[in-house]
Structure formats: C-alpha cells, structure tokens
Amino acid sequence: MNKGVAIALSSIGLAQALKIPVHYAKTKEWKPDLFFASGGMPSSHSAGVSSLTTYIALQKGVRTVDFALSLVYGMIVMYDAQGIRRQTGELTLKVNDLDELIDKINEDDPVEFEEKAPDPLKEMLGHQPKEVLGGALLGMLMGFAGYQFSKKR
C-alpha cells in the first residue's frame, strides 16, 4: 500500500479512537460508539490531511506539486470541517427543536418550549476550531512519525 495513504488512514483511525477517552475525560461517560461518529475532539478530517501533507513535505519537499496539492486540499477540508459542516449541524438542532414544538402543539397541551443547547457529540456534524487544531497537530505528529519509520526501512 502507498505509505502516504497508510499514514493518513492510520491518523484518521487514531483520531477516531482518541475521541472516546477525550469524551470520557470531559464527561465521565464511556461511549465507544464515538469511534464511528463525526465531530468531536480531535478532528479525524484534520488528522488525515495533516499527516499526509506532513509526510509529503518530508518525503518529497515543500516545492513539489504533490505538497501543494495536499496542502490546498487539506486547508479546504479543515475549513469545511469547522465551517460549513458545523453550521449545518447547528441548523439541524434548530430543525429538531421545531419538530418537537410541532409535536407539542398537536397534542393540544399547553406549549412550553425550551430551546436546547447544542451537543456537539450528538448533533454536530463539524468541529470547533480547537478540535480542528487538535486533529491537525495529531496529524503532523503522525506524518512525522510515519516518515521516520519509513526512512529506517
């Protein structure tokens, strides 16, 4: 398998796995299903593209087209992860609240509606900027480690 692909996929897997203990440290709630969830700390999107970009920079150099493509692609992915996808998740929360309000109205009960605060691990599709940064740092470490490991072989 291509070493860059292997390093990027390993970074994504590690980032997904790290979401479980990070969530536990914050909430004292053990949720192994977070391995398959989007959102949360660290961003696996950022980890994957950052590890690949770091590996390419060390392997081929920063003056190559390979590095330029990976860097620009990575920047777009990270921007999207914390921008557009995050906004979509917040909009989803509002729609879910409206659905609950409609259900209460149809029950002929007095409507007491309280808007819910966002829960990034359940309803968020994207990432907070610190989650993107955490994933990017993890990815850079994985890219460096992958380069060092492949260099010794």
- Using CA atoms, how far apart are residues 93 and 118, in angstroms rounded to an integer? 7
Mean pLDDT is lowest, of 23-27, 38-42, 53-57, 85-89, for 85-89
Q: Which of 56, 49, 124 is nearest to 79 (CA)?
A: 49
Comparing 75 with 110, which gets the higher pLDDT?
Answer: 75
Q: CA distances (Å), 59 to each of 4, 51, 144, in order?
A: 9, 12, 10
- Using CA atoms, how far apart are residues 125 and 89, in angstroms rounded to an integer? 5
**Residue 122 pLDDT > 90:** no
**Residue 120 pLDDT > 60:** no
Alpha-helical runs (H) found in 28-83: 44-60, 65-82
Q: What is the residue-averaged pLDDT of the chain?
A: 83
Instruction: Quote the pLDDT of residue 139.
Output: 94
Instruction: Quote the pLDDT of residue 66.
Output: 95
